[in-house]
Structure 1
Amino acid sequence: MNELEKAIISFERALALAPLNDQVKQVLDTSRFKLSQQIRHEHLDPRLKPETMDEHLTDMKDRFGIDPEQVRLGHLLADMSDDPTRANVIKGHKYFRGDTEMRIRQDYDQSAVYFAEAARQGNAEGMYNLGMMYDRGQGVKKDHRLATQFFEKAALQPAQLPKTNLPNIGVAEAQHALGLRYYNGVDVPKNYAAAANWYKRAAENGCEQAANNLGIMYQDGGGVEQGSVKAEQWSQFAAKKGDPNAMYTMSHLSFKKNDFQMTREWHQRACNAGHVLALTNREKFLEEINEREALVTQLPPNLLNVLNESTRILDLTNIKPMPSKSSSSLYKYLELKEHALKGSVTAKQLCMALQHFYTALYIITQSENLDEKQFIHELAEAYRTEHRVVQIVDADLYKQIQTVIRSSLKRHPDDEDAQICYVYFHSDDLEPNAKLLHEWKVTHPNSIHLYDLSAAVNCFLKQYELALLDCNIGLKLDPNYCELLYTKAVALRLLPNTDQTDIIAAYQKFLALAPKDHRKVPESYYAMTQCYFPREKPVKHDVTSKIIPDAAVQTYEQGLEAERLQLPCYLPYKSTSKTAIKAVFDFVDLCKRDTLQSDQTPKQS
């Protein structure tokens, strides 16, 4: 942990004590912004090194064959045209970089003036560049809030210039900047699902950096459903567009697939593009490629399949848990109402949550005079009843609700409704939320919902002992509270050295009380299945023996049966545990087939 990370933890603690302190929030935003630059190795990225206009044009000629004189002629024509917008953008760049040939010295103040004028005239590139200058405090006072506003304005401009097929420069770049903001929690609440959405929009508009970041999110399962195919598709798209980070990523993805020709090719491309990590680790990585290639070439096809399958299983165990994900569930009220009338408790609960959510939306969008207290109450009830139904897609509405929640909490810091809304709305800010909930549980010792939230947050933070403590206190308030029973089972399973019998008993207690169509019922069976897998290696290497106990197979089948009872909004059912179990079953089958083939092969005497 470096000094910047330590500082962020300190600022998050300070913000937890005073969540509406704008000064602390601004310092935290700046620290998170700098850390995100470090993590992305911006200081090592050759594309981001400072260049004068002359150096920039020379670089464009070397990389793309663009004649600098033709570019300068275009600058001159823009300056002579009736539309000053493009000329203002060009002047903004010249003063930002400095232009020796035109005898323009670098002047951030003057650059900001020209970008601001272009932004005022509706130019996306001017908006984006001015936002970047506000983020960095170049030529203007550092202001992450203003930067966000300019990024949002640019991101909502048309992706193509009118009457042309040319990209509207600044749009995709601003969308990528918003993705980074939501991923890192700079000025806006940290929200991985929102980050993935902005990355996707930017990538579809041609931004290779956004495509690479989206590929990483699919690889990790952060903010989106994990998917190796989509991860590779977006990374390859970015790499072919020239992103050095994506080239480096593709070299490692190809290595995992044992495609050594493409591994070497992508790694060489990353080196040629100046990727510092690729250049630094070049010899070591090439040695690893040669060693693995030598091993793979000696393996028969069936054992090679076993090796690939084991690699896939390991990848599944490395998926990062994230509170928010892009939800594909579409909650159709009338459809749910039909299931509720047929006796579905889960559908009835979802209908109640939707009613509260729709009421909250009506209050904030249709009422002439906003009843803040009633809005906060309805939104909090929606979150309490089933938080997944609260899906706010519109960016302006999202900001409006954020403002109302902060305002309400500032005026009524002890109001549980405002506290519930604040934590759910900032669901990816795990550490600050844990500290806030710790304080709020003291003032609301009988609020089972705060214990429920605190237990979930502590699980995401891998603080399983604290999660269990929350669950046990909450279950004293209501022993039949299903969500806490489920979270307790999860915490027990993830806590090291827990007796498997205790874990299974915890899941069984949840299953005994939960509605049969509760969305966590199949997942509970799959988690129990994993508990039945032996943790120790067999004494004798005999893959045809009972590696997978009958109890594991039976429980897995119960999970499949439970899926058939799920509501349409939760289908097709997605479970990482199920995918991992299926991978283990396939792996064992491969081993068995290999053993049988070996036994049937005639041996020389």
Structure 2
Amino acid sequence: MNRLLMRTALATVLLMPFVAAADELNIALAAYGAGDYATALRELLPLAEQGNAGAQRGLGDMYLYGHGVEKDEAEALNWYLRAAEQGNAQAQMRLGYLYGKAPTPLEAALDLAWGVRQDYAESLKWYLRAAEQGSADAQVILGVKYEFGIGVPQDYAEAVNWYRLAADQGDAQAQFNLGDMYEFGKSVPQDDAEAVRLYRLAAEQGNTIAQYSLGRMYTEGKGVPQDYVAAHTWLNIAAANGQENAARRRNDLSALMTTGDISDAQRRAGICMESGYQDCD
């Protein structure tokens, strides 16, 4: 029993620095989120210098966006690299972004040295590392890169692979993108019903282009029986959420509907939105 107590006490002592560091990091990140950049910087810097990956990523964000410090992409890169090498997926995502973004016209014209030079290979490397850790955001970005050949050879099969991994985690953008691959048969059998299923999953999370696409599928009877009331419902929702083409398509559809059907669709749209897109039938 005494040995057990001694081991427990020793474990507690050994964990205390990590618990304290986690508390300090939470304080720093809370200050950063509240816009108190002076406190965030004061708390993050010593933690980052001690090797805390979360603090290093946070400090990188401050330099990337110029929050409480002078904007400095090179310094941001420095802190992101330290965090990313420790396996911090958010830092790896930031590196993928920094290496992949195009320089501004001024940076390109003057070949400015203090920015981060575009390097598609480095960008891909860091997105891959984040994606392999399960980052759905990184998986979606890789899917987009392979679907459209951005910095990599165009490869629909690889795009589908990454979209599916993210969609299985519930990522709405991935669900929509994967639905699009099924609707147009990009490296998967063309399957409107599967496209509708995926669009619905994304639409229920508030993805506006998926909401618009559902309205389009119901209008055309693709993957579902043609249903103008359901179509109007989803187009109305997408329009209310700012989707540019939805209002025009809804108005065109209204010309084919009775006044009663339009009223029913409007009622259903209101219920759907009030329920957080869960009661939409």
User: Which bracket does the TM-score occupy, shorter chain normalised?
Assistant: 0.5 to 0.7
Aligned to 1:144: 120
- Call closer, same or farther: CA 1:95–1:264 in 2, change over 3 Å: farther
1:426-505 matches, within 5 Å, as: none
Matches within 5 A, 1:552-567: none
Greater relative contact order, per chain length (Cα 8 Å cut-off, separation 6+): 1
Corresponding position of 2:56: 88
**How far is 1:197 from its partner?**
1.0
Matched, 1:242 2:203: no
Distance 1:290 1:189 in 2: 43
Give the CA deviation at 1:254.
Answer: 2.7
Counterpart secondary structure, 2:256: helix
* Matched letter for residue 235 of structure 2: H
| Code of the aligned partner of 1:124 | A
* 1:62-107, Cα deviation, whole Å (9 max, x unpaired): xxxxxx869448x9597376762111222222332333xxx33433
Question: Which amino acid is 2:162 matched to?
Answer: W
Q: Classify 1:98/1:274 alpha carbon distance in 2 versus 1 (closer, same or farther; 3 Å).
A: farther
Q: Report what 1:189 is aligned to.
A: 153
Query: Which residue number corresponds to residue 123 of structure 1?
Result: 88
Q: List gaps (5 residues or longer) in structure 1.
A: 1-67, 160-170, 298-605
- Computing the radius of gyration over CA atoms, which structure comes out larger, 1 or 2? 1
Tell me if the contact between 1:78 and 1:86 (Cα under 8 Å) persists in the aligned partners.
Answer: no
CA, structure 1 residues 194+69, in 2 after alignment: closer, same or farther (shift >3 Å)? same
Aligned counterparts, 1:84-233, within 5 A = 84-99=52-67, 103-137=68-102, 139-157=115-133, 159=134, 171-233=135-197
In the alignment, residue 211 of structure 2 is paired with which amino acid? M
Q: How does 1:389-428 map to 2 (within 5 A)?
A: none
Please report the RMSD computed on the Cα atoms of aligned residues, expressed in angstroms: 2.9
Question: TM-score normalized by structure 1?
Answer: 0.32
Which consecutive unaligned segments of at least 5 residues does structure 2 have?
Answer: 1-29, 104-114, 262-281
Q: CA deviation at 1:121?
A: 1.5
Which residue does 1:486 correspond to in 2?
Answer: none
When normalised by structure 2's length, the TM-score is: 0.65
Alpha-carbon spacing, 1:229–1:114, altered in 2? closer, same or farther (3 Å): same
Tell me the CA shift for residue 185 of structure 1: 2.1
- Quote how far apart the aligned CAs of 1:277 are: 3.6
- The DSSP-based 3-state class of the residue aligned with 2:170 is coil
Paired letter, 1:134: Y
Does structure 1 conserve the Cα–Cα contact (< 8 Å) formed by 2:99 and 2:117? yes
**Aligned residue for 1:275?**
243
Distance across 2 between alignment mates of 1:275 and 1:289: 16
What CA distance in whole angstroms lies between the structure 2 residues aligned with 1:110 and 1:271?
A: 42
Aligned-residue offset at 1:204: 1.3
Task: Give 1:230 deviation, angstroms.
Answer: 1.2
CA distance in 2, matches of 1:214, 1:147: 23
* Cα pair distance change 1:217/1:106, threshold 3 Å: same
In structure 2, how many angstroms separate the alpha carbons of the residues matched to 1:90 and 1:116?
12
What is the identity, as a one-letter code, of the residue corresponding to 2:189?
E
Amino acid at match of 2:152: V
Superposed, 1:323-334 pairs within 5 Å as none
Question: Residues 565-589 of structure 1, C-alpha deviation per residue, up to 9 Å, x if partnerless?
Answer: xxxxxxxxxxxxxxxxxxxxxxxxx
Aligned pair count? 210
**Cα deviation 1:235-269 (Å, max 9, x = unaligned):** 12222223222222122123234433433333333
Change (3 A) 1:254 1:110: farther
**Amino acid corresponding to residue 133 of structure 1 in structure 2:** L
- Mapped partners of 2:60, 2:54: distance in 1: 10
Q: What residue identity is the alignment partner of 1:127?
A: Q
